[in-house]
Amino acid sequence: MNALTYESPGSVDEAVKLLAAAGSDAKILAGGTDLLVQLRMGMIKPALIVDVKNISETTVIKEESGGYRVGSAVSGAELGEHDGMNNTWPGVVEALELIGSTQIQGRASMGGNLCNASPAADAVPAMIPADAVCTIAGPDGRREARVEDIVTGPGQTSLKAGEMVVDFYFPPRPARSGDAYLRFIPRTEMDIAVVGAGISLTLDEAGVCSAARVALGAVAATQLVVEDGAAALIGSTLDDAALEKLDAAARAACRPIDDKRGTIEYRTKVAGVLARRAAKIAQQRAEG
């Protein structure tokens, strides 16, 4: 059995060096709400845990060029207390805040939610419509990637050995923009998504949708970008006909599994309903 080592570097460069040296034997610790459960259950046996919470870049939220840069290890509780993110990207904030209890919110982060790569992750289908861009640091330097390009399958990401997500950039919002995330669970709290739907949109002065992004969670092996759903909204006032097209596009995109949380038929139906409802909430927020 490998002995476990714990490190808490003070910079991204140090963290990357540690990660690169340990290769696949290393795990990153942000909030630990997934990692420590996996460790405890023996699902993972890392030789090195790199705690990234002593790095300022991964733990702060800052305004930048009219948008916000959010550290990958910022907790749900901290994000929920940030006025700028609440005002600009309420759908992203509500998605992260849906994860777990108050105790989990004290620790769980967007970086962890993304890199844990669960098909049912709540933050991810809200970050995708927001066009959030990840900064990724690795042995070869830094690169940027869109959130939708990170998760490649359950528990699998496109991150290379030694790479870590440093932060997420949420771009500035045009006037009359809004976003929303809805998920369905059989109770009101403390459960894993049966379906999640995230929508971001912008309206013109006449209230016609000029831009939209639609994503679904928990209905395929990865989060889905529903381009036909966005196309259904663009050019409309989100009238019944447009919402019916969105509903149909969401259902058509679904490739869910049958499990104890929901059947294929049920998840597909709910995906359409949630997409419609999220679109209406995003519209109301855009109208301000």
Q: Which positions touch other proteins (CB under 8 A)?
A: 3-6, 8, 29, 31-33, 36-37, 39-41, 49, 51, 53, 75, 77, 100-104, 106-107, 189-190
By C-beta, is 100 or 129 nearer to other proteins? 100
CB of 35 to other proteins, least distance (A): 9
Residue 109 and residue 76 in contact, taking contact as beta carbons nearer than 8 Å: yes
Instruction: Compute φ and ψ for 165, nearest 5 degrees.
Output: -85, 125
CB of 108 to other proteins, least distance (A): 9
By C-beta, is 175 or 190 nearer to other proteins? 190
DSSP string spanning 69-114?
EEETT-BHHHHHT-HHHHHH-HHHHHHHHTSS-HHHHTT-BHHHHH
By C-beta, is 32 or 129 nearer to other proteins? 32
Q: Which amino acid would we find at residue 7?
A: E
By C-beta, is 11 or 103 nearer to other proteins? 103
By C-beta, is 191 or 228 nearer to other proteins? 191
Tokens 């739907």, residue? Answer: 197
Nearest to 145 by CA among 126, 123, 160: 160
Quick one: CA torsion of 78, 83, 88, 92, rounded to 10 degrees?
A: 20
CB of 281 to other proteins, least distance (A): 19
CB of 40 to other proteins, least distance (A): 6
CB of 74 to other proteins, least distance (A): 12
